[in-house]
C-alpha cells in the first residue's frame, strides 16, 4: 500500500482567525476514495462563514474550500466511476443511492451524500474538517470517488472550478428550482457570483425580462453584462414598486433571493406576479426571521421554496455546464474577477466583504 502524502493548504484553526497555509497529511486512498490534485479553487462565501464560526465551533480546524477542479491522482480499491488522470470538478453532493430520497428517485435531495471515510490531519495530528466534505484551498485533497465528476480535458481549471458550487447553485436555481420558462419575467435579488449565475440560467431558459436588484451600482453594471435587462437599486426607492412598474404592474413570474437577509427575502416574496415562484438561495443567519401575512400570501398564490445547490445532480449537470461554457453560452470568464495564490486567500475574503469581486479563484 502506498504511503500517506504531505499536502499544503489553508487551515482555519480558530473561529474568526485568519486561515494559514500549512502542511497537512492525507492518508493513502482507501476503498471508494480518491486523492485529487487541485488545479483551481473558487473562494465562496460559505468558506468565510465557516471560518468565522457561523456554523458552530465544534468542527475546527477546517481545511477551507469546496469549489474546485483538479486531476485524479490516486484511487483506492473498487472505484469504477473515474480513473487516474481524469480531469474532474469536485461535488459536495454525491448521491448515496440508498437513502429515503435516493430510493424514490430524488437523488438531488440525497440525505446521506458520500464523503471520504478516512480523515486528513494537521501536521500535529488533529483531524481536519474539509469544508462541505471537500477542502480545495490546497494542493491535494481526499474525497469519495463519487465526488469526482469528469469533464473534458482542455477547459480552464479556474472557470471549471466555479461549476462546483456558486455557478451550479445559481444556474440550477433558475433552471430546476425556479423552473423558469421562455418569455417569463425574473427578479434576482443580490447580484454576486451566485446571483449573476441565476441571471445566466434565466437567460438560457429564455426569460425575456431579467431584473437585477442590488444596493451596489457596480454589481448592477456587472449583472447587465450577464444578461439582466433592468437594474433596480433599493437605495433609490421601494424595489417591489419598481419591479411591478417594470413588469406592467404585475410583478415577476419568478424571484430569486441570493443574499440571505429578511429584508431581501421580503422583496423576493412580494415582487411576484400571481402564482409566481419565490426561490430562496441565500443562507440566512441563525436568528433571521420573516413575518408572513398569510391572507396576503394566500391571495398571491404560487410557491415559496428553498434551493440547495440548485437542485443539481452533479453527474448530469457538471459536464453539461462545462459544455455550455465551451459553446460560449455560459460566461464563466466574467465571474472570475481575480486569480490568486494559495497565500492570498485571506485577502480574497476581505475583497469579497468589500464587494470588489464576484469570485477570486486560487490557482495552485
- 169 SS3 class: helix
Q: Please identify, using beta-carbon distances, which residue of 99 and 284 lies nearer to Zn ion.
A: 99
Distance CA 117, CA 3 (A): 17
Binding to Zn ion by residue 165, rule CB under 5 A? Answer: yes
Q: Please identify, using beta-carbon distances, which residue of 98 and 339 lies nearer to Zn ion.
A: 98
Distance CA 2, CA 74 (A): 10
Q: Please identify, using beta-carbon distances, which residue of 106 and 233 lies nearer to Zn ion.
A: 106
**Contacting Zn ion (CB under 5 A), which of 99, 215, 284, 290?**
99
Binding to Zn ion by residue 110, rule CB under 5 A? Answer: yes
Binding to Zn ion by residue 197, rule CB under 5 A? Answer: no
Q: Please identify, using beta-carbon distances, which residue of 140 and 359 lies nearer to Zn ion.
A: 359
Contacts of 248 (CB under 8 A, 6+ apart): none
Q: How far is the CB of 190 from Zn ion (least distance, A)?
A: 14
Binding to Zn ion by residue 91, rule CB under 5 A? Answer: no
Is there a cis peptide before residue 302, judged by omega within 30 degrees of 0? no
DSSP assignment, residue 176?
Answer: I
Q: What is the DSSP string of 254-294?
A: EEEE-S--HHHHHHHHHTEEEEEEEEE-S---TT------H
Q: How far is the CB of 139 from Zn ion (least distance, A)?
A: 20
Binding to Zn ion by residue 304, rule CB under 5 A? Answer: no
> Is the distance from CB of 37 to CB of 90 less than 8 angstroms?
no
Choices 163-171, 258-266, 290-298, 307-315 (CB under 5 A): range interacting with Zn ion: 163-171
Q: How far is the CB of 168 from Zn ion (least distance, A)?
A: 9
C-alpha cell at 63: 481545511
Choices 94-102, 115-123, 153-161, 350-358 (CB under 5 A): range interacting with Zn ion: 94-102
HSE of 289, CA atoms in CB hemisphere, 13 A:
2
Binding to Zn ion by residue 194, rule CB under 5 A? Answer: no
Q: Please identify, using beta-carbon distances, which residue of 194 and 243 lies nearer to Zn ion.
A: 194
Q: How far is the CB of 44 from Zn ion (least distance, A)?
A: 3
Number of residues that bind Zn ion (CB under 5 A): 9
DSSP assignment, residue 358?
Answer: S
Q: Please identify, using beta-carbon distances, which residue of 21 and 96 lies nearer to Zn ion.
A: 96
Binding to Zn ion by residue 96, rule CB under 5 A? Answer: yes
Residue corresponding to grid cell 471537500: 134
Distance CA 226, CA 201 (A): 10
Choices 23-31, 33-41, 106-114, 242-250 (CB under 5 A): range interacting with Zn ion: 106-114
Q: How far is the CB of 17 from Zn ion (least distance, A)?
A: 21
Q: Please identify, using beta-carbon distances, which residue of 46 and 253 lies nearer to Zn ion.
A: 46
Contacts of 187 (CB under 8 A, 6+ apart): 211, 213, 232, 243, 252, 254, 255, 256, 267, 268, 271
Binding to Zn ion by residue 177, rule CB under 5 A? Answer: no
C-alpha cell at 29: 486512498
Q: Please identify, using beta-carbon distances, which residue of 108 and 230 lies nearer to Zn ion.
A: 108
Binding to Zn ion by residue 46, rule CB under 5 A? Answer: yes
**Contacting Zn ion (CB under 5 A), which of 12, 35, 102, 167?**
102
Q: What is the DSSP string of 67-98?
A: -EEEEEEEE-TT--S--TT-EEEE-S----SS
Q: Please identify, using beta-carbon distances, which residue of 115 and 185 lies nearer to Zn ion.
A: 115
> Is the distance from CB of 30 to CB of 99 less than 8 angstroms?
no
Binding to Zn ion by residue 44, rule CB under 5 A? Answer: yes
HSE of 25, CA atoms in CB hemisphere, 13 A:
12
Q: Please identify, using beta-carbon distances, which residue of 110 and 258 lies nearer to Zn ion.
A: 110
CA distances in angstroms from 299 to 241, 270, 295, 333, listed in the order given: 18, 11, 6, 42
Q: How far is the CB of 184 from Zn ion (least distance, A)?
A: 27
DSSP assignment, residue 343?
Answer: G
Per CB under 5 A, residues contacting Zn ion are: 44, 46, 95-96, 99, 102, 110, 112, 165
Amino acid at each position: 500500500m502506498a504511503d500517506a502524502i504531505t499536502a499544503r493548504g489553508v487551515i482555519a484553526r480558530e473561529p474568526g482567525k485568519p486561515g494559514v497555509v500549512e502542511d497537512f497529511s492525507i492518508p493513502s486512498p482507501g476503498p471508494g476514495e480518491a486523492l485529487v490534485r487541485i488545479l483551481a479553487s473558487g473562494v465562496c462565501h460559505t468558506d468565510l462563514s465557516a471560518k468565522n464560526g457561523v456554523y458552530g465551533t465544534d468542527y475546527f480546524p477546517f481545511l477551507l474550500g469546496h469549489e474546485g477542479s483538479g486531476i485524479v491522482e490516486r484511487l483506492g480499491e473498487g472505484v469504477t466511476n473515474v480513473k487516474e488522470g481524469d480531469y474532474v470538478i469536485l461535488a459536495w453532493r454525491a448521491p448515496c443511492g440508498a437513502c429515503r430520497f435516493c430510493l424514490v428517485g430524488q437523488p438531488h435531495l440525497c440525505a446521506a451524500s458520500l464523503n471520504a471515510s478516512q480523515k486528513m490531519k494537521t501536521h500535529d495530528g488533529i483531524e481536519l474538517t474539509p469544508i462541505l466534505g471537500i477542502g480545495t484551498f490546497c494542493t491535494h485533497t481526499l474525497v469519495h470517488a463519487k465526488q469526482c465528476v469528469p469533464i473534458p480535458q482542455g477547459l480552464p481549471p479556474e472557470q471549471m472550478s466555479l461549476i462546483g458550487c456558486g455557478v451550479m447553485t445559481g444556474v440550477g436555481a433558475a433552471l430546476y428550482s425556479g423552473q423558469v420558462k421562455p418569455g417569463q419575467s425574473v427578479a434576482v435579488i443580490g447580484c454576486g457570483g451566485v446571483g449573476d449565475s441565476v441571471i445566466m440560467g434565466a437567460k438560457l431558459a429564455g426569460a425575456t425580462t431579467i431584473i437585477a436588484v442590488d444596493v451596489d451600482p457596480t454589481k448592477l453594471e456587472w449583472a447587465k453584462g450577464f444578461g439582466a435587462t433592468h437594474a433596480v437599486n433599493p437605495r433609490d426607492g421601494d424595489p417591489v414598486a419598481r419591479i411591478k412598474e417594470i413588469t406592467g404592474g404585475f410583478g415577476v413570474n419568478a424571484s430569486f433571493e441570493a443574499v440571505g437577509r429578511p429584508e431581501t427575502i421580503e422583496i423576493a416574496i412580494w415582487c411576484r406576479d400571481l402564482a409566481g415562484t419565490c426561490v430562496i438561495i441565500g443562507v440566512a443567519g441563525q436568528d433571521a426571521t420573516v413575518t408572513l401575512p398569510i391572507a396576503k400570501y394566500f391571495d398571491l398564490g404560487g410557491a415559496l421554496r428553498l434551493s440547495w445547490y440548485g437542485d443539481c445532480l452533479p453527474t448530469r449537470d457538471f459536464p453539461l455546464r462545462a459544455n455550455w461554457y465551451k459553446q460560449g453560452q455560459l460566461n464563466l470568464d466574467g465571474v472570475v474577477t481575480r486569480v490568486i495564490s494559495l497565500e492570498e486567500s485571506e485577502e480574497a475574503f476581505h475583497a469579497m466583504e468589500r464587494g470588489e469581486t464576484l469570485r477570486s479563484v486560487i490557482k495552485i
